[in-house]
């Protein structure tokens, strides 16, 4: 009811006000955690990023907007990256990161650059984005410590028909022409490869609940730190209850906080009016 009233009220507001609200709802307004960094020219078509006294890596010029969004512009994306960087630097020497919805591999690159023996498994149903991620990791000399799977993540293993847009983003075909892509659960992935992840990022645009249902054994056994992008509007559209999603993690002993490290009670998160909220879930004692 609260969300319906908020949507109705927003529709009555001037366009400029609606635009500001939209930026807020998607996490693109407000100050993010500052990441000390410098940027320097690299080889033709590339630039180098140095993160304070931490890792350094190369990005191609076509990733300039991704770099700005995740590292320099104020908002939740930069705050999330700052929190991820801190966690990656604090993780063990052989820390394994599972990147679900890996896109072009920026998070995985950062994790691999943060430790000489860090490992990453990238999972994305888009062959185009997986190819771009491979090229980025190869550019930085870390591809050998990564596994890139052109696959989706879900509660159980299956094959689904997907389509990709011009930018390479994938979605379920829904009766349209497309191509078949394997889907697997995080539990299957970890059990089959003997993985003990220290961190898991899930950015799957409304399929978060489906992915988490297939990760219960992994979360219980290995207690990874979770970086979640909760797409509340999309979850609602596919009939998923946010309260059930959050409750399943609470039962497993997870507690929530913002990307800025502020504790986030379950009830507050469940009533969020955000369209997308980036959340860190930390493991604690299992209930």
Which bin fits 262, alpha (ψ -120 to 50), beta or left (φ > 0)? beta
181 sits in which H/E element: strand 179-184
163 sits in which H/E element: strand 158-164
Domains and CATH numbers, the chain: 75-283 (3.40.50.150)
- Residue 205's CB is within 10 A of a number of other CB atoms, namely 14
* pLDDT per residue of the chain (287 residues) written in tens, 0 to 9: 444 444 434 444 555 544 444 444 555 566 556 689 999 999 999 999 999 888 999 999 999 999 999 999 888 899 999 999 999 999 999 999 999 999 999 999 999 999 999 999 999 999 999 999 999 999 999 999 999 999 999 999 999 998 888 777 887 777 668 889 999 999 999 999 999 999 999 999 999 999 999 999 999 999 999 999 999 999 999 999 999 999 999 999 999 999 989 999 999 999 988 889 999 999 998 76
Q: How far apart are CA 131 and CA 141, in angstroms?
A: 15
pTM: 0.89
DSSP string over 215-246: -HHHHHHH--EEEEEEEHHHHHHTT--HHHHH
């Amino acid at each position: 009811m609260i969300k319906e009233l908020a949507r109705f009220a927003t529709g009555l507001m001037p366009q400029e006000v609606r635009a500001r609200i939209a930026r807020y709802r998607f996490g693109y307004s407000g100050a993010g955690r500052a990441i000390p960094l410098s940027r320097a020219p690299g080889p033709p078509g590339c630039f180098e990023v140095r993160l304070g006294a931490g890792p350094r890596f190369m990005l191609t010029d076509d990733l300039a907007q991704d770099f700005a969004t995740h590292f320099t512009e104020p908002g939740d994306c930069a705050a999330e990256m700052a929190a991820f960087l801190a966690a990656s630097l604090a993780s063990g020497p052989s820390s394994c990161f599972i990147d679900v919805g890996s896109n072009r591999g920026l998070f995985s690159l950062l994790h691999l650059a943060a430790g000489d023996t860090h490992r990453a498994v990238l999972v994305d149903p888009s062959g185009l984005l997986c190819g771009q991620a491979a090229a980025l990791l190869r550019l930085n000399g870390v591809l050998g410590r990564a596994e890139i799977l052109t696959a989706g993540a879900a509660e159980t293993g299956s094959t689904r028909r997907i389509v990709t847009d011009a930018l390479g983003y994938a979605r379920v075909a829904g009766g349209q022409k497309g191509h078949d892509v394997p889907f697997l659960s995080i539990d299957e992935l970890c059990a089959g490869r003997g993985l003990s992840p220290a961190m898991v990022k899930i950015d799957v645009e409304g399929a978060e609940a489906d992915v988490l249902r297939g990760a219960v054994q992994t979360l219980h056994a290995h207690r990874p730190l979770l970086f979640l992008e909760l797409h509340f509007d999309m979850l609602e559209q596919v009939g998923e209850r946010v309260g059930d999603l959050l409750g399943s993690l609470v039962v497993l002993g997870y507690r929530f906080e913002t990307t800025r490290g502020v504790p986030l009670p379950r009830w507050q998160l469940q009533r969020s009016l955000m369209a997308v909220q980036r959340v860190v879930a930390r493991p604690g004692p299992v209930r």
